[in-house]
Structure 1
Amino acid sequence: MIRILHSVSNMDRAGIETMLMNYYRYMDTSKVQFDFLCNKKKPGAYDEEIKSMGGRIYRTPGLNPAKYPVYLAYMLKLFREHPEYRIVEAHNGALGVYALCAAKMNKVPVRIFHAHGASITKDWKLPIKLVCKALLPANMNEHYSCGIEAARCYFGEKIVENQNYDLIPNAIKVSDFIFNSETRKKIRKENGMDGKHVIGHVGRFMAQKNHTFLLEVFAEVCKNDPNAHLVLLGDGELMESVKQKAANLNVDERVLFVGNVGNANEWYQAFDCFVLPSIWEGLPVVGVEAQAADLPCVFSENVTREIRLSNRAKFVGLEEPVEKWASVISDVLQSTKRIDRTELITEKHYNIEIEAAKLQERYLQLYGKWCQI
């Protein structure tokens, strides 16, 4: 059995972490086991499940550049105590170079960088991230990506043109998301949504997800639709400011903040459409989930077109006025018929039961290529 050490933020319910858990649940753990190198002290929602499956969770001192020597010392001790780690896979964006550099220094033969984002967030950390991104090629030797645009962002045009990377789809357990009318009735009744036009969103409350703009769009929808209702799943550091924004727009009584829940698949059944106005994305797993539930979707044009799995997915530019967004959302809300999308999702390579077997075989091949003496 080989153990893969995944460098992550923490194992909470978010896009990357949910994708990893989707694959992990379908690994044959007698052959491939996942362990997690978490760079935040906060426990994650998936921690207990990971432990129950035999996975390990380590907590580093964090990715603070000023404390890099402390991080390296921690990693040196970790690899010395656990020489079984021959594959390290980083999911931290450009800052993933921390784990990969430490792995290289400790002679870990397989160092995978897994690209999830199609751009780099322009915040105060941008100069650090650009330096880290420049250091990635010298510290990784395998390229994984959720999509073409994410690969282009982190690996460059030449790698993409030569297809010198592995495309790892953000696959899901399709049966959990296929439209179920009984589940829809149950969730809507429990939450007072009977007769409402429910606009749904799933995402962490962070600048990337653009909740402030979403609320402005929703306020515009409300002007012409007295039955419009917005449901937000997720949590994060900006949740309180988003709640205040809803109050300022006088739509707070029509916005439901659900929080971070384990039954997001059931909430998709209750939605009438799904909206993701992100400032940037790689290939969002929530977009796959929403289309598996056969929801009409409205994405910002900053989301890669690779997410368009069905003709029910629409794209609107963030530079467009809120009136334009509201009009598109109002239009898609008219489409109420929903069907079983298992065949579509499987054909597009997002069925975890099939894709996990492929990834497991890939890990075994990598181990054979780099690690056998």
Structure 2
Amino acid sequence: MPQPVRILHVLGGLDAGGAESFAMNLYRAMDRRYVQFDFIKHTPRACLFEPEIARLGGRVFVCPRYTGKNHFAYLRWWKDFFASHPEYKVIHSHVRSTAALYLPVAKRYGLVTIAHSHSTSNGSGAAAMVKDLMQLPIRREAEYLFACSDEAGAWLYGKGALQRPNYRRISNGIDLARFAFDGETRARMRAELGIPDGALVLGHIGRFTRPKNHVWLVELFAAWNKHHPESRLLLVGDGELREDVCRQCETLGLTDKVLMPGAHTDTENYYQAMDVFVFPSLWEGLPVSVVEAQANGLPCLISEVITPEVRVTDLVQALPTDALAHWLEKLADCRCREQGALTPAQYKGLQPFDMTWVAQDLQTFYREQYEKAGR
């Protein structure tokens, strides 16, 4: 049997972020007899998904983080990498800030280049402006322009790109069965987390970064908990703002009410412990966690800035983050809802996010591009 084609994915890290979760969900669903993934990360730190990648047969390479001062050394690293790894014919980039630097190098070495947009903003401030400028050439340098939503595609590549033949919207697919509601797992997880019987659990899964808006989420929970002191807030994830959120919880007297178990690869178990999924992001591409929460049957309260493409069932309500009272009203409605199996209509709405179909489509695409590059 011939060896599988190896596709090179480029990310900032390999922890439980949106782009990383998409890449890993896709990797798990691939038929690895035919397509294998390898990864380049921009951090020397050991990351959450690396043990699983090794078990699945993938390799991880460490690229130096771009600082500006190491511009030529950064380019040289990529030239040396491609020169010493001729086995790669396709590169799939999930990084925006420096993709315009390494994609041209990849093209010179004969690789098919794919850019993938997972967001709709770089934030604000000087650093964001630099990133905005650095990512502009991507629309010219990448042969294929992927995006998790049309909003994410228009933001990174321009609205005109949505009509180009090399543009593709790729759903943030998941294993629907993996996230289905399970009463036994729910009971076990709530016991392990020390959640009181009958307590309403507000849940969130995501990295502790500014776009996820954890500070506002804790303020929402504080307002809710005043009248429902038995309730709990479950924040699954890690990131640079975690300690800030811990201090905020301490100041508000919520330390024993806010559960922060860290980053986990078995997130399906943590959805089971929740009663409502709360996701007040400041900006997003298309958050896969909201899709996962719907697959679990959870009512989802999300900020209205998040693309409507994620609202595939009647479980989702989009609200403005400047109307705290409105969120509290909707939380009260969620108390009356029993969690359980999805309705046929809800399951049908989730079908476009079935990773089985997404993986089959991309597996064919990868193999076609590999053959094309090898001619």
For residues 124 and 213 of structure 1, the distance between their equivalents in structure 2, rounded to whole angstroms, comes to 24
Q: CA deviation at 1:334?
A: 2.0
1:222 pairs, out of 221, 225, 229, with 225
Aligned to 1:365: 368
TM-score normalised by length of structure 2: 0.94
Partner of 2:208: 205
Distance 1:223 1:308 in 2: 30
SS at match of 2:69: helix
Quick check: 1:351 aligned with 2:335?
no
Counterpart-to-counterpart distance in 1, 2:184 and 2:57: 35
User: 1:63·1:98 contact (CA, 8 Å) conserved in 2?
Assistant: no
Could you list the per-position Cα deviations for residues 236-274 of structure 1 after superposition, in whole angstroms to 9, with x for gaps in the alignment? 111111011111122222111111123210110110000
Alignment correspondent of 1:248: 251
State the superposition RMSD in angstroms: 1.8
Q: State the 1:35 CA deviation.
A: 0.8
Give the counterpart letter for 1:38 in structure 2: K
What are structure 2's unaligned runs of at least 5 residues?
none
Question: What's the secondary structure of 1:93's corresponding residue?
Answer: coil
Matched, 1:17 2:20: yes
TM-score with structure 1 setting the length: 0.94
Q: Which moved more, 1:232-241 or 1:7-16?
A: 7-16
Shift of 1:346: 7.1
The number of aligned residues is: 370
2:70 to 61, 67, 71: 67
Alpha-carbon shift at residue 30 of structure 1 (Å): 2.9
| Unaligned stretches of 5+ residues in structure 1 | none
Once the two structures are TM-superposed, the CA of residue 135 in structure 1 deviates from its matched residue by 1.4
1:172-321 maps to which residues of 2 (within 5 A)?
Answer: 172-193=174-195, 194-320=197-323
Q: Residue 139 of structure 2 aligns with which residue?
A: 137
Q: Secondary structure at the match of 2:155?
A: helix
Contact 1:220 1:323 in 2 (8 A): no
- Indicate conservation of the 8 Å contact 2:89/2:374, yes or no: no
| 3-state SS of paired residue (1:240) | helix
Task: State which drifts further: 41-50 or 327-336.
Answer: 327-336
- Structure 2 equivalent of residue 85 of structure 1: 88
Where in structure 1 do 4 or more consecutive aligned residues deviate above 3 Å?
161-164, 340-343, 345-348
Q: Helix, strand or coil: the match of 2:347? A: helix
User: Which residue of structure 2 aligns with residue 160 of structure 1?
Assistant: 162
Do 1:12 and 1:45's aligned partners in 2 also have CA atoms closer than 8 Å? yes
**How far has the Cα of 1:347 moved from its partner?**
5.0
> Shift of the alpha carbon at 1:87?
0.9
C-alpha deviations, 1:166-213, integer Å up to 9, x for none? 121111111111000111111112222122100000011111111000
Q: Tell me the CA shift for residue 162 of structure 1.
A: 4.8
- Look up the match of 1:325: 327
How far did residue 102 of structure 1 move? Answer: 2.6
Q: Which moved more, 1:130-139 or 1:81-90?
A: 130-139
Distance change >3 Å, CA 184–CA 163, structure 1 → 2: farther
Read off the aligned partner of 1:240 and give its amino acid letter. E
Secondary structure of the residue that 1:303 maps to in structure 2? coil
